[in-house]
Amino acid sequence: MTPRPFRPDPPQTLRPWAECPDAALAGLRGVLTDIDDTLTRDGQIEPAALAGLQRLAAAGLPVIAVTGRPAGWSRAFALAWPVRAIVAENGALMWRRRSAQKAAIEYADPLPVRQANAERLATCARAVLAEVPGTALARDSAGRITDIAIDHSEFAHLPPERIAQVVALMQAQGLTASVSSIHINGWIGAHHKFSGACWAVRQVLGGELRPAEWLYVGDSSNDQVMFERLPLSVGVANIARFVPLLTHLPTYVTRAERGAGFAEVAKKILAARPG
């Protein structure tokens, strides 16, 4: 067997979303999206993003949101927004819309595992608060079931070296750590946004998530696993803030930031659909 010639990875560049060929979008089965700073600004969904979600839903294209936000925070949006599900806590659980008034929660791990993890997570949270100056729990922590979150940019401000210190401490205690646009999340287990997305697609739509058939929109470090796995990945323009920190970039970038960027994505997807 002759060895394969060495080919270095192609240079990572962000291509304008407008250059995505329509043919690549014609076979799309659905859209996966981050929430914070992708659909929202300062924690509120932007009208353009909501309109984009509504147009995708009206065209019969399912949208599943995938976020590091907690169960408690996500439930209301699973009911209020035209999405089929919200995968929360970085893939650990999801809210599935059952009717106009009801969303049901499902967990990736069974109850005994979640109970055993809760104590370790609390211990780690105490260690972070005691050892890293300036740290505070994220204000949405009461709604968290499977992870802990330290605020770095939502209400608090932590400089990069403190963020790195929190990540290192979480990892030293055996947690998986991930940095979103607002929080540093720590959890136990190998799940992440992509495993959560695969699980949600199976549960909600049936069948496996085939990467060529799903597009992801995001803006931050905790979206990298999605950028890495899905060739049709798009960053909204405010991803520029995180580009120096990313190992995996999305394929495309929108012109506009946040919700207006998501609306750009929705518009082009719908324009490319056959019929």
Distance separating alpha carbons of residues 190 and 225, to the nearest angstrom: 12
DSSP one-letter code for 222: G
CB of 69 to Mg ion, least distance (A): 9
Of residues 141 and 181, the one with the C-beta less far from Mg ion: 181
Q: Which of 17, 30, 31, 34 binds Mg ion (CB under 5 A)?
A: 34
Interface with Mg ion in residues 36-95 (CB under 5 A): 36-37
Residues 201-240 that bind Mg ion (CB under 5 A): 219-220
Nearer of residues 170 and 223 to Mg ion, judged by Cβ: 223
Structural contact between residues 175 and 186, judged by C-beta atoms closer than 8 angstroms: yes
Phi-psi map region of 208: left, alpha, beta (phi>0 left; psi -120 to 50 alpha): beta
Taking the CA of residue 204 as centre, how many other CA atoms within 13 Å lie in the half-sphere pointing to its CB? 30
| Residue with smaller CB distance to Mg ion, 50 or 117 | 50
Residues 173-192, mask of contacts with Mg ion (x by CB under 5 A):
--------x-----------
Please identify, using beta-carbon distances, which residue of 155 and 202 lies nearer to Mg ion: 155
Q: Which stretch binds Mg ion (CB under 5 A): 31-39, 100-108, 188-196, 202-210?
A: 31-39
CA torsion sign for 167, 170, 175, 180 is negative
- DSSP string of 117-138, one letter each residue: HHHHHHHHHHHHHHHSTT--B-
Name the site residues for Mg ion (rule: CB under 5 A): 34, 36-37, 181, 219-220
